[in-house]
Amino acid sequence: MLTIVDYHSGNLGSILNMLKKLGVPAKISSRPEDIKNADKLILPGVGAFDTGMANIQKLGLFDILNEKVLEDKTPLLGICLGMQLLAERSDEGDLPGLGWLKGDIVRFKFNGPSGELKVPHMGWNSVSVINDNSLFKDIDEPRFYFVHSYHFRCEDSRDVLATTDYGYEFPASVHRDNIWGTQFHPEKSHRFGLQLLKNFVEQS
């Protein structure tokens, strides 16, 4: 059973509907026992970094998430804020992140002509896969839907799976071991997002 972690942030219903289209058994839950019994996890997210981390702590999910992901090596996909929470810290707040990937979260900052770009970065954008990975299998000329004002800055370039350009290049997707993240929203990205979720579900 795949569990979508409900920490009171994210497009939970939209993700569940996409998984139903794929015929994937899934549930939305904030119960530690459901997370413990999951064979895959999705950590969605919309909103502020500190709020997300505070909710994870308040709901008693911090330790079980660490156990499942770091010890049991359960595949996890972080989406948007869920990807940002994988980092060590964020310019958006004061609380530490999960720290599963080395790096921090920074706000878009443009110089020169790019300074006229609007923040948040919102809408469809192309994604360039720079490290071959099955998460993007069978996705030709990938385009995904973004809504965000902050982005990941990885300490180790090997953790960057794909990039997108908005004024400058930034990580659109990250990966290390059993952990994947997408800054974009696959649940809002039609056939591209459906294929990506299918690819994640097929990870072992």
Per residue in 9-65, pLDDT (tens digit) is: 877 999 999 999 999 999 999 999 999 999 999 999 999 999 999 999 999 999 999
- Residue-level pLDDT at 112: 67
Q: What is the mean pLDDT of the chain?
A: 96
- Residue-level pLDDT at 115: 67
- DSSP secondary structure string for all residues of 78-147: EETHHHHTTSSEETT-SS----SSSEEEEE----GGGGGS-SSEEEEEE-EE-S--GGGTT-SS-EEEEE
Q: Does position 191 have pLDDT exceeding 80, yes or no? A: yes
Are 69 and 176 in contact by the 8 Å Cβ rule? The answer is no
pTM: predicted TM-score of the whole model, two decimal places: 0.96
- Residue-level pLDDT at 11: 79
pLDDT tens-digit series, residues 61-83:
999 999 999 999 999 999 999 99
Q: Does position 3 have pLDDT exceeding 80, yes or no? A: yes
Q: For 2-201, which CATH class?
A: alpha beta
- Residue-level pLDDT at 20: 97
Are 35 and 68 in contact by the 8 Å Cβ rule? The answer is yes
- Residue-level pLDDT at 114: 61
Cite the active site residues: 80, 185, 187
Domain layout of the chain by residue ranges: 2-201
pLDDT tens-digit series, residues 95-134:
999 999 999 999 999 986 666 799 999 999 999 999 989 9
- Residue-level pLDDT at 111: 80
- Residue-level pLDDT at 52: 97
Residue whose tokens read 């497009």: 11
- Residue-level pLDDT at 116: 79
